[in-house]
């Protein structure tokens, strides 16, 4: 049953009346709690935990010291909708079909996702600051006991959004955000309500540029609400504390907007990395780059992004300390990850790009289990589609593989398998109803990564092959040089693509 | 006082055709945008999920249309009667057509001409004013406005009940 929590900024959301009935001691053999903490657009390539030259994440390193650290973890999508959907459904984007921005997953997955598969044995709570991820919570709402509104932990609204209808956020989101106000004009959508559109442009727009003593270039902002990092993390901490007092085990999915654009570092971190070389080589403009940012611009934005990550890490440190001090992790698996990365190279700034360079799909994954005190490093390539089967394993449910692209992660119910193809793809401009013709596909297999770009005006079909271990900055395309590896991976990729396209091929008469 | 204010307003028989132009343009634009989006929604959602979305759309556009009419009536109260009130149907209809039409053009050209909404707001006002003034001097303009707005009144009888049902739907869905 869906219960949408009241929108109380900066506070815990659960009503005391609902909890009082469950406020009993848990049985000693009770199932563990499971918490997913997802940072939007956090590229593993910018985290010191993953070897980045800048010391961006001392607190994540502290967490990693008691966790399994997956070093070659990829998102199956390069932006929120396709990446998050893969994590929540265990499917690659060509199967869940959330291909474009603001797209939901295909209808039948409303009853086949991480929440439905965990079942009512768990108290299932979802919270996201990303409106597109909120759509999935809306689609899966029959299998969540509680969805916190988008406005939770925010302090100011800066654009019209259906999220303000807290009792009917998904339907209202489609009406307002997807059609009436059309916050996604980058895709060519047009606002149906001229009055709301004008109001946002003329009135709300003025609120966006607010600065503060804490945030020198503006508050964290998801285009609809502004948040403060400390309030967000303390809200999450209070929510976890409240959930922990229940008799039932809980599964909580927290999707935090930061460090997604616009970058909003705290003042004390703002210039932290300006003078520090990130030790990343400049690379030439890519033919498919839709923008032409100069190296100077990219360097400036990289500095801001890194400062923002350091700010997020700082606040995460406070959350981690509070959870440890309160014993909240004694019976909880904490999964820390992202939905996609971000790119500052080849003329591209951002993740709305057909390019599938490593920084845009290489995401962090660290999982700490109850009682774990030592760090374990796993280098086998894994996918965020593996999260769903892993969560089921952590919940003590039987292994599930049929119908899923993901498998349980190594050390958490699964085996390391370097020969397994890990797929990431971007097909924003391709209809979800049709075979994938305009698409970028990346296949990681062992040390190798093959990328296929097809259907673009600048590249009808082109391939790039990198030895991602030896050439982590993807500078040497070895598609011609390593022909045998290339052709084997190409054949496998095209075969998988053909299988995925099969349901969308028109039946021949 | 109230009588004084009402005296500055046009009669209901004059307001209705002008509102018909406003409502027709606003709802037609909304339905057009909705139809562009409908195929993908059908893929991801069931009909019983799409209909409530439509209720939100009708509610908001109905409120939008009342807002536009309200603005026009406020202008009517401020201006001397001979400038707008006395010829409310042709001038009001052309002003609404010009302003709303300009905005529809703007959102269609947004990606070509950039995000210059303030200039377009000004342009929409000027075009609306120019058309409203012209209709006083060009007879066929006035005739077109009167004839067309009269024919559009039929839509008001459809759009208002549908909008009211939509508002009711939204209220029910949002009762906790």
- Per-residue pLDDT tens over the stretch A4-25: 333 333 333 333 334 433 444 5
Whether B52 and A171 lie within 8 Å, measured CB to CB: yes
Distance from CA of B171 to the nearest CA of A (A): 10
C-alpha dihedral, A105 to A106 to A111 to A113, nearest 10°: -40
Q: What is the pLDDT of residues A70-103, one digit of tens each?
A: 999 999 999 999 999 999 999 999 999 999 887 8
B34 touches chain A (CB under 8 A): yes
Per-residue pLDDT of chain B (176 residues; tens, 9 = 90+): 778 777 889 999 999 999 999 999 999 999 998 988 887 777 778 888 899 999 999 999 999 999 999 999 999 999 888 888 888 999 999 989 988 888 888 877 765 566 666 777 777 778 888 888 888 788 898 899 999 999 999 999 999 999 999 999 999 999 86
Helix (H) or strand (E) holding A172: helix A169-175
- Asked if the Cβ–Cβ distance from B60 to A180 is below 8 Å, we say yes
In chain A, the residue whose alpha carbon lies closest to the alpha carbon of B173 is: A168
Q: Which tokens sit at A406?
A: 């993901």
Cβ-based contacts of B61 with chain A (< 8 Å): 180, 192-193
Contact check, Cβ <8 Å, A178/B37: yes
Tell me the chain A residues in contact with residue B122 when contact means C-beta distances shorter than 8 Å: none
Residue B13, Cβ neighbours under 10 Å: how many? 10
For residue A97, the chain B residues in CB contact (below 8 A) are: 43
The answer to whether the CB of A264 falls within 8 A of the CB of A308 is yes
Dihedral of alpha carbons A317, A321, A323, A329, sign = positive
User: Could you tell me the two tokens for A303?
Assistant: 């500095």
Whether A85 has its CB under 8 Å from any CB of chain B: the answer is no
* Nearest CA distance, B156 vs chain A (angstrom): 18
Query: Cα–Cα distance between A237 and A317 in angstroms, integer?
Result: 12
Per DSSP, which regions of B47-126 are E strands?
none
- Which residues in chain B are closer than 8 Å to A104, comparing Cβ atoms? 44-45
Please give the pLDDT value at position B88.
92
Give the pair of three-digit tokens for residue A89.
């459904």
Give the whole-angstrom CA distance, residue B60 versus residue B69.
Answer: 14
CA–CA distances in Å: residue B159 to residues A212, B56, B99, B153, B164: 46, 14, 21, 10, 9
In the DSSP assignment, the letter for residue A49 is G
Identify the DSSP state of A434. Answer: S
By CA distance, what is A188's nearest residue in B?
B111
Q: Is A164 on the interface with B (CB under 8 A)?
A: no
CA distance B134 to chain A (A): 25
* pTM for this model (two decimals): 0.83
Peptide bond into A310 cis (omega under 30): no
Are the Cβ atoms of A194 and B111 closer than 8 angstroms?
no
Q: Is B13 on the interface with A (CB under 8 A)?
A: no
Q: What are the pLDDT digits (tens) for A466-509?
A: 999 999 999 999 999 999 999 999 999 999 999 999 999 875 44
Q: Is B155 on the interface with A (CB under 8 A)?
A: no
Sequence-distant (6+) residues with CB within 8 A of A119 are none
Q: Does B137 touch chain A (CB under 8 A)?
A: no
Q: What span, in angstroms and rounded, lies between the C-alpha atoms of A427 and A410?
A: 29
Contacts of B63 in chain A (CB under 8 A): 195
Chain A residue numbers with beta carbons less than 8 Å from the beta carbon of B68 are 195
Query: Which of B67, B110, B176 is opposite residue A185, by nearest beta carbon?
Result: B110
Task: List the structure tokens of A169.
Answer: 């956020």
Do A218 and A211 contact (CB within 8 A), yes or no?
Answer: yes
CA angle B50, B51, B55 (to 5 degrees): 120
Residue pointed to by tokens 């391939």: A463
Do A107 and B44 lie within an 8 Å CB cutoff? yes
Q: pLDDT truncated to tens, each residue of chain A (509 aa)? A: 333 333 333 333 333 334 433 444 555 558 999 999 999 999 999 999 999 999 999 999 999 999 999 999 999 999 999 999 999 999 999 999 999 887 889 988 999 999 999 999 999 999 999 988 988 998 898 999 999 988 899 888 777 778 778 788 888 888 888 788 765 444 556 788 888 877 777 766 666 556 678 999 888 988 888 899 999 999 999 999 999 998 899 999 999 999 999 999 999 999 999 988 898 998 999 999 977 889 999 999 999 999 999 999 999 999 999 999 999 999 999 999 999 999 999 999 999 999 999 999 999 999 999 999 999 999 999 999 999 999 999 999 887 767 899 999 999 999 999 999 999 999 998 988 899 999 999 999 999 999 999 999 988 999 999 999 999 999 999 999 999 999 999 999 999 999 999 999 875 44
A-B interface: how many C-beta pairs under 8 angstroms? 100
**C-alpha distances in Å from residue A142, one per residue of A2, A5, A103, A436, B128:** 6, 15, 19, 31, 49
The whole-number pLDDT of residue B117 equals 66
Strand partners, A382: A73
Interface probe, candidates A140, A167, A174, A290, chain B, greatest B C-beta count within 10 A: A174
Probe site for chain A from B42, B43, B118, B176 (most A CB atoms < 10 A)? B43
Half-sphere exposure of A297 (CA within 13 A, CB side): 11
- Phi (first) and psi of residue A377, to 5 degrees: -105, 130
Residues 124-143 on A with a CB inside 8 Å of B are 139
Q: Determine the pLDDT at residue A380.
A: 97
Distance CA A34, CA A391 (A): 8
3-class DSSP string for A406-433? CCCCECCCECCCCCCCEEEEECCCCCCC
CB contact under 8 A, A192 and B121: no
Strands A33-39 and A365-368: unpaired
Q: Is ipTM beyond 0.90?
A: no
DSSP state, residue A182: -
- Residue keyed to tokens 């993901």: A406
The HSE-up count of residue B94 (CA atoms within 13 Å, CB side) is: 27
CB nearest to A195's CB, from B67, B107, B175: B67
| Cβ contact, residue pair A191, B41, below 8 Å | no
Residue A216 and residue A307: Cα distance in Å, rounded?
12
CB A436 within 8 A of CB A500: yes
Chain B contact present for A107, CB below 8 A: yes
Domains of chain A, with CATH numbers? 31-158+208-417 (3.40.720.10)
Cα–Cα distance measured from residue A481 to residue B75, given in angstroms and rounded to the nearest whole number: 74
Mutate to test the interface with A, among B25, B27, B33, B122 (most CBs of A within 10 A): B33
Contact B53 A171 (CB under 8 A): yes
Closest approach of A493 to chain B, Cα-based (Å): 26
């Amino acid at each position: 049953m869906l219960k949408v929590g009241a929108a109380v900024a900066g506070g815990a959301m659960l009503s005391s009346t609902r909890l009082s009935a469950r406020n009993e001691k848990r049985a000693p053999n009770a199932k563990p709690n499971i918490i997913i903490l997802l940072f939007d657009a956090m590229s593993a390539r910018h985290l010191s935990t993953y070897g980045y030259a800048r010391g961006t994440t001392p607190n994540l390193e502290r967490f990693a010291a008691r966790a399994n650290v997956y070093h070659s973890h990829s998102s199956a999508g390069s932006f929120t909708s396709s990446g998050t959907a893969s994590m929540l459904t265990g499917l690659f984007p060509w199967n869940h079909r959330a291909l474009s921005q603001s797209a939901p997953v295909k209808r039948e997955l409303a009853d086949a996702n991480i929440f439905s598969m965990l079942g009512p044995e768990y108290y299932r709570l979802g919270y996201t600051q990303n409106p597109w991820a909120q759509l999935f919570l809306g689609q899966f709402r029959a299998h969540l006991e509680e969805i916190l509104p988008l406005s939770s932990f925010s302090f100011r609204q800066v654009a019209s959004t259906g999220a303000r209808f807290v009792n009917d956020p998904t339907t209202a989101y489609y009406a307002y955000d997807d059609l009436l106000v059309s916050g996604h004009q980058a895709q060519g959508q047009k606002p149906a309500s001229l009055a709301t559109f004008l109001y946002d442009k003329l009135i709300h727009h003025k609120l966006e540029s607010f600065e503060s003593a804490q945030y020198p270039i503006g508050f964290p902002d998801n285009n609809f609400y502004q948040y403060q990092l400390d309030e967000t993390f303390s809200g999450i901490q209070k929510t976890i504390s409240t959930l922990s007092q229940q008799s039932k085990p809980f599964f909580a999915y927290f999707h935090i907007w930061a460090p997604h654009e616009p970058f909003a570092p705290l003042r004390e971190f703002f210039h932290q990395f300006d003078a520090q070389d990130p030790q990343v080589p400049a690379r030439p403009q890519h033919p498919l780059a839709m923008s032409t940012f100069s190296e100077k611009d990219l360097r400036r934005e990289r500095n801001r992004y890194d400062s923002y990550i350091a700010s997020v890490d700082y606040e995460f440190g406070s959350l981690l300390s509070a959870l440890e001090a309160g014993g909240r992790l004694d019976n909880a698996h904490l999964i820390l990850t992202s939905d996609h990365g971000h790119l500052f190279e080849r003329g591209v700034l951002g993740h709305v790009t057909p390019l599938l360079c490593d920084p845009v799909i290489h995401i962090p994954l660290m999982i700490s289990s109850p009682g774990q005190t030592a760090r374990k490093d796993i280098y086998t390539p894994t996918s965020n589609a593996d999260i769903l089967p892993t969560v089921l394993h952590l919940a003590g449910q039987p292994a599930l593989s049929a119908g899923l692209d993901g498998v349980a992660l190594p050390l958490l119910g699964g085996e390391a398998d370097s020969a397994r193809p890990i797929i990431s793809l971007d097909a924003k401009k391709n209809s979800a109803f049709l075979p994938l013709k305009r698409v970028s596909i990346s296949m990681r297999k062992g040390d190798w990564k093959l990328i296929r770009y097809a259907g673009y005006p600048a590249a009808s079909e082109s391939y790039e092959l990198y030895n991602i271990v030896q050439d982590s900055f993807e500078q040497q395309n070895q598609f011609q040089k390593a022909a045998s590896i290339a052709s084997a991976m190409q054949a496998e990729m095209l075969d998988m693509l053909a299988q995925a396209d099969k349901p969308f091929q028109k039946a021949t008469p | 006082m109230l009588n004084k204010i009402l005296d500055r307003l046009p009669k209901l028989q004059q307001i209705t055709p002008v509102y018909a132009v406003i409502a027709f343009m606003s709802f037609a634009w909304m339905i057009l945008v909705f139809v562009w989006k409908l195929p993908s929604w059908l893929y991801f959602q069931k009909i019983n999920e799409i209909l409530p979305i439509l209720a939100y759309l009708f509610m908001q556009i109905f409120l939008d249309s009342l807002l536009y009419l309200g603005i026009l009536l406020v202008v009517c109260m401020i201006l001397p009667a001979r400038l707008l009130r006395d010829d409310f149907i042709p001038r009001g209809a052309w002003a609404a057509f010009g302003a709303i039409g300009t905005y529809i053009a703007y959102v269609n050209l947004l990606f070509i001409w950039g995000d210059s909404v303030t200039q377009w707001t000004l342009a929409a006002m000027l075009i609306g004013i120019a058309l409203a003034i012209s209709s006083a001097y060009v007879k066929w303009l006035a005739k077109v406005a009167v004839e067309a707005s009269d024919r559009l009144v039929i839509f008001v009888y459809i759009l208002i009940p549908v909008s009211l049902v939509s508002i009711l739907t939204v209220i029910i869905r949002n009762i906790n």
